[in-house]
Chains A and B, each alone.
Chain A
Amino acid sequence: GQQLNQSPQSMFIQEGEDVSMNCTSSSIFNTWLWYKQDPGEGPVLLIALYKAGELTSNGRLTAQFGITRKDSFLNISASIPSDVGIYFCAGRRSNFGNEKLTFGTGTRLTIIP
C-alpha cells in the first residue's frame, strides 16, 4: 500500500537539541497531520494542518503545511526525554467523512544520554 516518504528514518540526538523531520508525497493532500506513537500504544495526534502554507505550533512543536500541498515539516525545539518515540506524518485528500489517512514511513527519535 501507499506510504508517504518521511525523513529521516531515525534520529539520535542529545537532550536539548532541536529536531526537524519532513514528509513528502507525489500527490496533493488537503490535510496534513502529525502523530507520535509510543511503544505498545496507538498514534496520538500532535498537530493538524488544513491550509497550504499554514504554520501551527503546539508547545515546543511546530509544523508547516507546504505550499505545494505535497509536503509537510515538523520541528521540535529543545528536546526532552519524553519526546522519544516514533513520529508519523499522515495526509488526507479531503475532509469528507469517509476519507482515509495515508501515513508516512515514520521517524524514530532517540535521545542519547
Chain B
Amino acid sequence: KAGVTQTPRYLIKTRGQQVTLSCSPISGHRSVSWYQQTPGQGLQFLFEYFSETQRNKGNFPGRFSGRQFSNSRSEMNVSTLELGDSALYLCASSLVSGATNYGYTFGSGTRLTVV
C-alpha cells in the first residue's frame, strides 16, 4: 500500500514569490492535514481537509491556504513568501470513519527554503 506522497521534496524560492505544495494521501484516506516544522517553533498545525472542506485551521496568516480535490489529494499554497516561511512542510493523511480519526500517517515532507 503506497504511503503519503509529497511533492516536490525540495524547493528554493525567493522572497515575495508564491509556492504550491502537493500531497497525495494513502488510498482510502479522506482526511489530509498539513503541519509546518521549524527549529524554533517545532511542529505546528496549519489546516485539515476532509471531503474537499477545510474543517480546522491553525494560527497562521492568510498567506497560507490550501485545498482538497475530489480524489482527496491536497495542495497548500503560500503567497508572498517571507524568509520565516522556510521550513519542512509535512502532510498527514488519516482514515476517518464517522466522527472518529484512526490516526495519522505522515509523508516525508517538502523542504522549502526562502532566500
Q: A97: which of B41, B100, B107, B109 is its contact (CB, 8 Å)? A: B100
Tell me the bound Cα distance from A48 to B45 in angstroms: 19
Hey, what's the 0/1 contact readout for B62-103 against A, CB within 8 Å counting as 1?
000000000000000000000000000010101010011101
For B113, what are the chain A residues with a Cβ–Cβ distance below 8 Å?
A: none
B42 part of interface (Cβ distance < 8 Å): yes
Q: Taking each of B41, B43, B107, which has the highest tally of chain A beta carbons within 10 Å of its own beta carbon?
A: B43
Question: Which residue in chain A gives the minimum CB-CB distance to B91?
Answer: A42
Instruction: Tell me whether A1 and B106 are in contact (CB under 8 A).
Output: no
A19 part of interface (Cβ distance < 8 Å): no
Asked whether A41 and B109 contact (CB < 8 A) given A96-B100, A100-B56, the answer is yes
Instruction: Tell me whether B43 and A98 are in contact (CB under 8 A).
Output: no
Interface set, chain A 29-47, CB cutoff 8 A to B: 33, 35, 40-45
The tally of residues in A whose CB lies under 8 Å from a CB in B reads: 26
Instruction: Tell me whether B48 and A106 are in contact (CB under 8 A).
Output: no
Hey, what's the 0/1 contact readout for A1-38 against B, CB within 8 Å counting as 1?
10100000000000000000000000000000101000
For A1, what are the chain B residues with a Cβ–Cβ distance below 8 Å?
A: 41, 44-45, 58-59
For B42, what are the chain A residues with a Cβ–Cβ distance below 8 Å?
A: 3, 103-106
A88 part of interface (Cβ distance < 8 Å): yes
A91 nearest CB across to chain B (Å): 12
Q: Taking each of B31, B35, B107, which has the highest tally of chain A beta carbons within 10 Å of its own beta carbon?
A: B35
Tell me the bound Cα distance from A101 to B44 in angstroms: 8
A95 part of interface (Cβ distance < 8 Å): yes
Asked whether A42 and B45 contact (CB < 8 A) given A96-B99, A98-B50, A100-B33, the answer is no
B7 part of interface (Cβ distance < 8 Å): no
For A97, what are the chain B residues with a Cβ–Cβ distance below 8 Å?
A: 31, 50, 55, 94, 96, 99-101
For B96, what are the chain A residues with a Cβ–Cβ distance below 8 Å?
A: 97
B residues touching A (Cβ–Cβ < 8 Å)?
Answer: 4, 31, 33, 35, 41-45, 48, 50, 55-56, 58-59, 90, 92, 94, 96, 99-101, 103-109, 111
A residues touching B (Cβ–Cβ < 8 Å)?
Answer: 1, 3, 33, 35, 40-45, 48, 88, 90, 92, 95-106
